[in-house]
A and B are shown apart, each in its own frame.
Chain A
């Protein structure tokens, strides 16, 4: 796959993904993915379920080694990436009885990988308070994490990821399972925090529309391949048809973008708004 329009190449940005491919049990899950993020840039990683978004995030995190290609974060290779990246996983399942307050989870973001028992200190406490305030989580700082709603948990996890002052924040489907109000809250919060903390954000989602107001760059994925650039550059019929390997139309209506494909006798499918995959891997 050749470079996509708007693709700056390996320009020494904050995040450089260069020609990354990955085979898992004989299947090509990522196919020559390349894109870059500049410091402080807000990018959406858009694609339907199974397009390879979570896998790509795991490769960037260093949890999964690519079969080919390289990933560099601020010029650092895989082994030294830990402290540069903040990560918000798709969902956490915590028992409501689990003795862990929101502030405890944020504290683990500061030093959760260290050995031994943390000593309470005024500096540590004020750092945690400050972070909780930055994500509007002060109200439920002392509530057990397992008792919080989905949107509240997202805020706490974002604080957990940001408190170690990373340069890059990765979020895996943070808007899934949220109601529309919490969805808008979280998007607004992320946009604000990215500006305030000067952190680059890469956020995966199956629907690009909630992210349109804050997105500087889109990385659009289908069947393991990716196209990157501004929304205007990437979300065009020519680029997406090439990506999907079949003709798709892009419809802009009421400030929303719909990507529509005519599938073999199955009528319309709307990959950008529906969680169902339009192009199955290997298809």
Chain B
């Protein structure tokens, strides 16, 4: 029976261990930070930060460092630039985000082109865009954990000021909260979260891990803290189940090639959201 769920070697494979650890940590971070991205109306900013971090990821192959540092470095830098040119004003928000995102993607296109033509990094494009959780090196694991702790620490420390400034900026400012600083810190946390998930499930899909579990969480609870916990849990469940299914898929007929982990993670999140949405709206109507 257990054999049918866990194909042979799942628990003894070291790439699986690393994938479960890295994927799990990143899912928890995305779930927690993503909740703030969603309630603060910064889903698009999160999406743009993920796109922009491609620039760093693709450049890292050219200079020969781990893509993690490329993703994180450029992601955080972009958060700073977006704040500088006016993301804190609701009216300038989408404009600032869009402008920075466009510029970042332009550079990413150039670097990816160089990756594939000049330096012959095979699979760089696929790795960066769609992730490859099974190829994450165990040496980078401590860095992933450290950056994850940093991202969660930011939103945990600023938990109340962030909630207050989300309700109304004036309300927070009247209590002496520096709304701009708090907003920038939150954007940096979002940048860290999407950069980390760019490493695991790829830049294109990292928004799904940021937004999807958060959307599930705020459906499941009326309380901010509990909604975040549900969100983290949903992300974790989708990631671990995705890793398992991807591992099992190596044994699936007809091709026996294995399907990408990212596909499973994102599909599971989507199915989870549809299920929760259906159930809660039925409960609310009753």
Contact = CB atoms under 8 A, between A and B. Distances in A.
Interface of A: 58, 61-63, 82, 85, 87, 89, 92, 94-95, 97-101, 104-105, 108, 111-118, 142-145, 160
Contacts, number: 92
13 contacts: A58-B170, A89-B171, A92-B171, A94-B167, A95-B39, A99-B39, A99-B226, A104-B223, A108-B160, A112-B177, A115-B157, A116-B159, A145-B167
B39 A117 contact: no
Most buried by A among B158, B173, B226: B173
Interface of B: 35, 39, 41, 156-161, 163-164, 166-168, 170-177, 217-219, 221-227
Contacts of B226: 99
Contacts of B217: 99
Nearest to B225: A117
B154 to A, nearest CB: 11
A98 B225 CA distance: 12
Contacts of A142: 222
A116 B161 CA distance: 9
Contact of A97 (B157, B173, B176, B218): B218
A15 to B, nearest CB: 15
Given A82-B175, A99-B223, A115 B161 contact: yes
Contacts of B222: 99-101, 142-144
- Secondary structure dominating the interface of A: loop
B44 to A, nearest CB: 15
A113 B161 contact: yes
Given A101-B222, A116-B159, A144-B222, A108 B164 contact: yes
Contacts of B39: 95, 98-100
A92 B160 contact: no
B225 A87 contact: no
A113 B164 contact: yes
A104 to B, nearest CB: 6
B171 A87 contact: yes
A99 B218 contact: yes
A82 B174 contact: yes
